[in-house]
Each structure stands twice: as structure tokens, then as C-alpha cells.
Amino acid sequence: MTRLTLSGVSFWYPAAERPALTDVSLAVAPGEVVALVGGVGAGASTLLLAAAGLAPRVVGGRLTGNVERTVASAIVLPTPWTQVSGMAFTVRDEVAFGPANLGWPIERIWPAVGRAMERLEVGALAERDPATLSGGELQRVILAGALAMEPGLLLLDEPTAELDSSGTQAFWRLVRTLAREDRASVVVATSDIDAVAAFADRVVWLEQGRVRGAGPPAEVLVDEAFLREGPGGPMVVLAWRAAGCAGPLPLTVADAAARWVRP
Amino acid sequence: MRRLHPFTLLALAAALPLLAWILPAPRGALAPALAAATLAAAAGPRRVLLPALLTAAPLWFFLFILHGVGGMLVFGVRLTAMIASFVWLVAVLPPARLVEAMVAAGWGAPSAYLFAATLSAVPLLQQRARRIVEAQRCRGLSPRGSPLARLRALRALALPLVLSALHEVDERALALETRGLGAGHRRTPLAPPPDSALQQAARLALLLACGLALAWRLR
Amino acid sequence: MSIRLLALIPVAVAINLALSAAVDATGLPLFLDTVGTILASALAGPVVGIGTGALTSLTNSLRNPTFLPFVAVQVIVALYAWGAARAGLFRNLRAAVPTGLGLGVIASATSTPISYHMFGCSTTGGIALATALGKSLGFSPLGACFFGSFVSDFGDKAVSFALVATVLHALPRRTAARFPLALRAIGLRGIG
């Protein structure tokens, strides 16, 4: 049973001649983490909007092919300050914005809100006014707001853009936890290829709105074509090749360390 | 006062200026004006009453210039009633409580959103406007020169501000949609302010008082 | 109302209330406090425009309640701008500026009776001064009040319309196409 199925999806923005997506097919299973990688304009953000049912419904434009979701989804966009509801005057109410809009009974809302805030470590900010938060704090609050709605399908567009490196690491671990414990399906567009190597189950390489390659990170990220024409390989791979090391390319530091032959 | 239901506070702040306008000025309007000033004083003589009086003072001055003492009294008492009750309302009613009361009373989430989001959006954009002005000052903007030069400077300040604000509308819409604002469910009030039969009666009485005063004046 | 148009209203209100900072920096005798209303109407029609105008008056009146009755002016501005957008009058500055001047006359004719009967024409510093000037020139009280409103509104609405036309043209087509009225306002879609 898949959570999200795109079959032969093409999408045109309003007043645009060229499609932003061309004939994209993708199926995401429960508990699976799929990373979308590609350069600027590759179509990853558009794919997420189509998957969320927001393109063309809210964005406008035209979609052909078929998009099917079997669970509730939530999308988080790259700029946190445009995603603050503006209707909440504390962080706790901001996180509760989505569940309240869904009309959940209050006794279901607060536990879900508390759990989401704990997972993103924003409990200490609960009484703060969202307008006074830093970019990184705000991004975690927005992510908590999405998690509080307990979506079975989480769509994330550059979710770590505002986070520092320890926040980024914690975030990727959280994605794995969500997939494992909650069986949440996660589709994430990111330029953090190193994180993709370590945390994704599957990689979809997009180029000019088309799927150029798809498969486990160990296949896609070390593929010759990807390293040559893709958005850049994992640091470890680049270092391994630059050093002239032989054998199969490692994906992560742990991988490389295990294969490293001491001189 | 601050613990009263938001609608009760609203009813008071609306009824006092209405009565000041309906009752014959200046003498009849004096009672609502004094009531409003008393409320403002009770909420904080320096924090609430003083700003209200400072807002009203220049109006009294212009009224005196334009209309003399008689006109100044007629308009001034009414204006003071209006200003004092609004300044008092803003001081005692946090927007969050009003939003909760609206939601609890069955207003749709979109209308509560409009009210609250406007209050949050205004200071943010004003802050951005000031930053753009500062940045342009550093690059040599000066409030001098011919009207045409100034208009050109105005365009350089206003255009980026308005365009950046418009660009964000799209992302805001997507974010609100994904967080269920347009889903059409009845929004759950997170902290509905407590109401009482006594307060409901008081609101009705205020409404009746305004109606009766109007009927009496129009008879 | 779609969520996009709902999200537009608070932003348009903020535009109404934020442009005064830009005006102050140039020292021009303008308000530009209806630019957001005109823009909202031109992008999305009268309901969004009137919503913007009404919320602007409400927000303004939290600071100074004498703004509240002038909500009538904001409504007139919204309706006028909607008509102008339908007629494609934002297509260039040569069309937009005279249209704005026309609104200046209508807006001052709307605000004068409110200002005169409710506040004795005392409410906004600049207008009150212009009214005093009108009085010293020998106008009747109501005439002086209209003179005051007219002097301050006339140029303001022309500049506002010019600014909105500039914004609509600067907006990427892809963004403009997402608002129901935007392309028609700048004369790109047929009238009918």
C-alpha cells in the first residue's frame, strides 16, 4: 500500500510555456524516506507542491497525469517567516494552529502539540511570540506545526536551510525516527547531498523537470553521470576520488573509514 | 476589567462613543466621555489615560481655531469619548483573547485569521519599510530636491517594499492551505474566554441603551 | 474566497500602513494610505479591496479612532479601483494618473461630510491646516473643509494610482496571472 503515487505527472505554471515537470512517476511506501535532488529549477519544489495537492489547486496552472495520496499530508516550505500563521501570539498556539483548524477536540490537540514541540526541541520557546524568534528557531517551530497535524506523508522543501549544523544533524535523525516509529513517509527536497547519503532510503535525481535517475543512494549518488552532471556528489566520494583511492566509492565517513587501507 | 469577556469589553468601547454622538452635545455627551476617561484612568493613568488625552489635545486645538469655543466643546467632548474608549479597549483586550472569543462564538477560522494576521503583518512590514529607508539613506537618499526627484526617490523606496510583500502572498497561501485553514472544519477554540449570563445581560443592556437614546433623539 | 485572496488582505493592509515611512523619508505631502486598497482591488476585485479598506480603517483606529468613520472613503476607493482595473486603466501612467486624479475628487467629496459633521474637520493635522487656510481665504466652513480634503487628496491619489500601475507592471507575469484581475488591469486581456 503506497502513501503517494505520481503517475506520468506533467505540470505547467500559469502563463508558462515550458512544463515545470514532465512525465514524473514516483511511488512512496509507508516509513520510506525519499530524497529529491537536483539543481535550481530541476522541479523538486514543484513536485512537492503537486504531491501535496497544492499545484494546481492553489498555485494555478495545469497538471496532467495522476496524483494519489492515501493519507493526510503536510508540506513545509523553505522560508519559515512566510509560513507563520500570523494568527497565534505564542509558539504553543502557533504549533496548535493546524490541529485547531482541522477541528480536532482540544484533548487531542495539546498532547499532539506537546509531542511535536518535544521532538523539535522547542518546548522552551512555548510562551514566546513567534515574531521574536530567530530563523532557526522559527524553522523548527514551523516543522513542529506540521508534525502536530500527525501527517502520514511529510513533504519537506529544503527544511534545514535556516538550521545550524547541529540542528541539521538532529533534524535528519528526527526524519529517520519519524519513518521508523510513526511509519511516516517523508519526501524531502534538499541540496544537502551528504545527509541524503546517510539518511535517505531512495534518491530521485531531477533535471529540468524530468526524473534523470532513481534508486538507493549507494547506486544514484556514486553513478558516473550523477557525479559529472548532477548537483554535486557527497563530500566523501569527492575526497575519495580526488585522493585517487581505488575500489567501490564509499558514501559516508563511516563507510570510507571501514574501507580505508592504512599505508 | 481585563478578565471580562472580550465581547463585553467591545460592547462597552462601542457604546460609549455611540452614546456621546447620539446624546445632545456638549452636555449630554459629557457623561459617556467621563465614563470612558474613568475606564482609561482605571486601566492606567499614565499608560492609558495620558496617551488618550495626548491624542485628543491637538484636535481640541484645531477645533478651537476652526470653530471657536462653542464648536470646540461640541466636537471635542465627543472626540474625547471616542478616543478614550478605544485606547482603553486596546489596553485591556489582547488580540489573542478576542480571536479566541471569535472562534468560540462560531466565527469561521478565515475571518478570525483576517483580523489576527493583519495585526501581525502590519508591524512586520512597517519594520521592513524602515529598513529599506535606512538602506537607501546609506546610499545617498536625501529628502531634498525637486518634486520630481523626490517622486523618483519615493518610487525607489516603495516599489521593492510592495513587490516583496506581494511575492510572499503566494507562500503564505500555500502554508495556510497545508495547515488546514481552508479545509472547512469548524476550528477548535484553544482557550475560549469564560462568559457569564450577567455579562450577556450587560451587553444586551448597552445595546438597548444606545437604541433607546437614538429613539429619544429622533422622536 | 480562496486562501490566496484571503492571504492577500493582511498584506495589502500592511502596505497601506507601511508606506508612510517611505513618504516621510522623501518629505512629500502625501499619505499613500490607500495604495494597498487600490492594489488589492486591481489584483482581486471589490470584495478583497473593500476587505482591505475596512481592515485598514479598523487597524488605524486602534491607534487613533478618528480614522474609523473614514472607512467609507476606503470603500469608495476600492470600488473605484475595481472599475479602473476592469477598464484596463492601469495599462500605463498616462491612463493611471488622470484616473487617480478623478479618485482624488471623489475621495475628498466623500471624506468632507464625514470630517465636517463628525469631527469639525479637525482630524488630520495636514488637512486641518489646509482647512484653516481655506477658511482664511474666505470659504464657508464646509467649503473650507472640502478645500482642505481636496488639497491633500488630489495629488495623493494620483501618485497612488501611478505607484500601483508601476507595481502591476513590475510583477512577473507568472505571479500576476495567479490573481484574477491583474492582467486585465494592465490591459493584457480583452475587456468584456
The pLDDT, as a whole number, for residue C124 is 62
CA B215 to chain centre: 28
Q: Which of A101, A113, A154 to mutate to test the interface with B (most CBs of B within 10 A)?
A: A101
User: A233 CA to chain C: closest CA distance, Å?
Assistant: 33
Instruction: Give Dmax (Cα) for chain C.
Output: 54
Considering the domain boundaries, does residue A62 fall inside one? yes
| H-type alpha helices, B139-196 | 147-178
The pLDDT, as a whole number, for residue A263 is 59
Identity of the residue in B99, B124, B177 whose CB atom sits nearest the CB atom of A58 = B177
Are the CB atoms for A79 and A135 separated by under 8 Å? no
Are the CB atoms for A193 and A160 separated by under 8 Å? no
Average pLDDT score, chain B: 90
- CATH code of the domain containing A85: 3.40.50.300
CA A165 to chain centre: 17
Boundaries of domain holding A29:
4-230
Partners of C122 on chain B (C-beta within 8 Å) are 59, 62-63, 66, 75, 79
Considering the domain boundaries, does residue A259 fall inside one? no
- Which residue is closest to B53 within chain C, CA to CA? C64
Whether residues B180 and A101 touch (CB distance < 8 A) is answered with yes
DSSP assigned state of C134: H
Considering the domain boundaries, does residue A241 fall inside one? no
Considering the domain boundaries, does residue A243 fall inside one? no
The pLDDT, as a whole number, for residue A19 is 94
- In the sheet that A210-215 helps form, which strands lie side by side, from edge to edge? A73-76, A153-157, A185-189, A33-37, A202-207, A210-215
The CATH number assigned to the domain with range C3-185 reads 1.10.1760.20
Note the pLDDT tens digit of each residue in C49-108.
Answer: 999 999 999 998 888 888 888 899 999 999 999 999 999 999 999 999 999 999 999 998
For residue B55, give the amino acid letter.
T
CA C170 to chain centre: 20
The C-alpha cell that represents C95 in the structure block: 491612463
The pLDDT, as a whole number, for residue C191 is 42
User: A80 CA to chain C: closest CA distance, Å?
Assistant: 16
Considering the domain boundaries, does residue A244 fall inside one? no
Distance CA A244, CA B59 (A): 82
Most confident of B51-55, B168-172, C40-44, C115-119: C40-44
Whether residues B158 and C22 touch (CB distance < 8 A) is answered with yes
ipTM metric: 0.90
Domain boundary assignment for chain C: 3-185
* Mean of pLDDT values over B49-67: 86
Note the pLDDT tens digit of each residue in B190-209.
Answer: 999 999 999 999 999 999 99
The pLDDT, as a whole number, for residue C125 is 57
* Mean of pLDDT values over B21-37: 89
For residue B40, give the amino acid letter.
A
**Who contacts A200 (Cβ-Cβ below 8 Å, separation ≥6)?**
A33, A34, A35, A188, A217
**Who contacts A69 (Cβ-Cβ below 8 Å, separation ≥6)?**
A3, A4, A51, A53, A153
- Whole-model pTM? 0.89
Q: How far are the Cα atoms of B34, B93, C14 from residue B38, in angstroms, in the given order?
A: 6, 17, 33
User: C10 CA to chain A: closest CA distance, Å?
Assistant: 10
Count up the domains in chain A and report the number.
1
**Who contacts B176 (Cβ-Cβ below 8 Å, separation ≥6)?**
A85, B113, B182, C3, C6, C7
Considering the domain boundaries, does residue A239 fall inside one? no
The C-alpha cell that represents A18 in the structure block: 515550458
Considering the domain boundaries, does residue A133 fall inside one? yes
Q: How far are the Cα atoms of A126, A170, B170, C44 from residue A94, in angstroms, in the given order?
A: 9, 22, 20, 28
Ranges of chain A whose pLDDT falls below 50:
none
Top pLDDT among A80 and C150 is at A80
Put simply, whether A51 touches B (Cβ < 8 Å) is no
Partners of A103 on chain B (C-beta within 8 Å) are 185-188
